[in-house]
Structure 1
Amino acid sequence: MTLSFFNQFASPTLLGIPLIAIALALPWILLPAPSSRWLNNRLSTLQGWFINRFTQQLLLPLNVGGHKWALLLTSLMIFLITLNTLGLLPYTFTPTTQLSMNMGLAVPLWLATVIIGLRTQPTHALGHLLPEGTPTLLIPVLIIIETISLFIRPLALGVRLTANLTAGHLLIQLIATAAFVLLPLMPTVAILTATLLFLLTLLEVAVAMIQAYVFVLLLSLYLQENV
């Protein structure tokens, strides 16, 4: 029983071929493609409004140099939202529950922000390692602490996304298992448990969207420090 709870996080394979590639490509197929018509349908209009509002809100605190990242950050936001929410459907696989994939997204993007800071304004970028007005005796300790905190950032990005989605999926499966077990024994308690499961599912949909937004927002904050 314990192993079956964690089987949902194993990458599915068919004839020895991993199917995670299909899970990564499927969200892009479901999104409506732009058309050449003068007037779009309601879904395309809603999608365009959401993308414009999110991009405007994301780039508001950034300098002009950071606006080049608009397409990348917006695409990453939509990609993570669709992966997280589609993973809540039955008989599906959530690629963002894999720490290796999340770290593969977090490390290159974080490293790109650091490299941009070192190229464009190296003095300002290195100045983050030592706050102004630090006593002389604390300078070596603070430099070590700030350096460690700098390298922990991508790890925190990946672990945060993985832990939140993994915990939510496990909790949903535990409560669903309890509801099925209690149904023939205590139907009233099973109905209450199923109601709790429905509310938890709504919460997990919100968590899936919020975690995608937090991931991209933290990347934009790292970028803001280096442009």
Structure 2
Amino acid sequence: MIFQGVSINQITDREALVVASLDGQILAGNKEALELYRYPSLQSFKKLNLRDLMPNDFNQFYPELMTAEHLNISSYKTHVNRRSDGELFACKLHTHHQTIKGQKYLVGHVVEIREEVDIEKICLQQNIIVLQRELEAERSKNREISLRETSLLLAKAYPSLSNNDIKVCHYLLKNYSSKAIAKELNITTEGVFAARKRIRKKLGLQPGEELNKALLQSI
């Protein structure tokens, strides 16, 4: 399928492809998508939001903005979708972000499950999963806000600190262990120890003075 001059390829044979904005507005779909969801034309399909393809009881849980936490990036997951006539069907769904001409879009790959399954059970599991993902997205958003706020305060108090130094300081203030900081910043624990030593030197701390205490006093 071609979208804005860029080819979006099927992963499996004859799967439906749907392209949407991050708020769920459908922008494109291939012929398999029109057949799967039973819409007569691409024009009618593009009038929809992704939540219109979901069971009615799922609408209230559908996120306003599809962040990375909401996506099935690593594999196909079992979901329940809804056709234009209201019929529910089970499918395997793989979703990811794709940047096209500087704009980020949501791409969905949908394969209908032909064998008999428990639709009601899948719907329940689907609702639980999306709530868990929404919680994780909110936590991620709060972490980003906290990091920005702390970074501004630390940068003002200690202009000599680099961006990486400030990130280490932020997690130290959150009482993260060196191992946890290493995981968050994708560095080694030795890298965290080196950063702590470097930060102490920039702050002019003497032996015996606590780094965390000095950071707390600065904010």
Q: TM-score, normalised by structure 2?
A: 0.30
RCO higher in structure (CA 8 A, sep ≥6): 1
The structure having more radius of gyration, on CA atoms, is 2
More strand by share: 2
More helix by share: 1
Q: TM-score, normalised by structure 1?
A: 0.30
